[in-house]
A = this chain, B = another copy of it.
Amino acid sequence: MIDTYFTNRRSVRKFSSREVYDPLLREVLAAAMKAPTTSNMQLYSVVVTRDEARRAELAKLHFSQPAATGAPVLLTICADLHRFTRWCEVSGADAGFDNTITFLSAFADAVIYAQQVVTIAERQGLGTCYLGTVTFNAPEIAKLLKLPKMVVPVACIALGWPEGEGEPTERLELDGLLHSEEYHDPSDREVVEIFKVKEQYGPNRKYVEENGKKNLAQVFAEVRYPRAMNEEFSKKFQQYLHENGL
């Protein structure tokens, strides 16, 4: 039997005033280091933001979303090629990690670690919410947290004790994303069937109406993530990677 924690979990966007003590936070962050990592290189770092003024600045860079403005702790988890490169340098080794493939390993390491932090924290009763906006303002976040070159913020977690329960969310059915042996490219009819659970979900229908659109796909593609915005942020992130030698 799978633990009900996993089948019931929800992200939390409202936090109580109860303090998150440092020993508990450290215990969570330390335990999560047993998460898998590429060749045991641990190509990630975590920056903890607790200071009120700095939290306010960081929250702005996450577009002042409520989970960011209301959380007592923000964790910025970074793909870190700097520490490993420094180690090689002081050890007289030629470090060639300023490239795409190593960055992607570090990206994966950082996200695996982030998700382990989420799971362990939630199992302790804490609430968490990823701030998916982290890559949108990566250069500004890097500046605020004084990240050196080759340290790229890739996951941010808002963390605190939950105020009430998180909102439930609908998910696709497993068969919508599971492929046996080969990828099955769905027909138009199958695509509609896969996303029916989202289109028919009550809160989504209200959301479509509020945005004056015909369906949920249009809200995602034209309101939330329009092409022009995606392309602008893509250019910005590519430029930032370039400046980092990546």
A residues near B (Cβ < 8 Å) are 2-3, 6-9, 11, 26-36, 38-42, 44-51, 54, 80, 82-84, 86-88, 90-97, 99-102, 104-105, 107-108, 111-112, 114-116, 118-120, 123-124, 128-130, 132, 135-136, 145-148, 151, 154-155, 169-172, 174, 176-183, 185-186, 188, 191-192, 194-195, 214-218, 220-222, 224-228, 230-231, 233-234, 237-238
Chain B residues closer than 8 Å to A95, beta-carbon distance: 217, 221, 227
Knowing A99-B231, A102-B230, the reply to whether A174 touches B33 (Cβ < 8 A) is yes
How many identical chains are in the complex? 2
List the 10 shortest-distance A-B pairs measured between CB atoms, nearest first: A96-B227, A91-B217, A93-B221, A100-B234, A111-B111, A115-B115, A99-B234, A93-B218, A38-B132, A30-B174
Determine if A96 and B225 form an interchain contact, defined as CB atoms under 8 angstroms apart: yes
Query: A171 to B28, alpha carbons, bound, how many Å?
Result: 15
Knowing A146-B182, A174-B26, the reply to whether A108 touches B154 (Cβ < 8 A) is yes
Tell me, rounded to whole Å, the shortest Cβ–Cβ distance linking A93 to chain B. 4
Chain B residues closer than 8 Å to A182, beta-carbon distance: 47, 145-146
Determine if B194 and A87 form an interchain contact, defined as CB atoms under 8 angstroms apart: yes
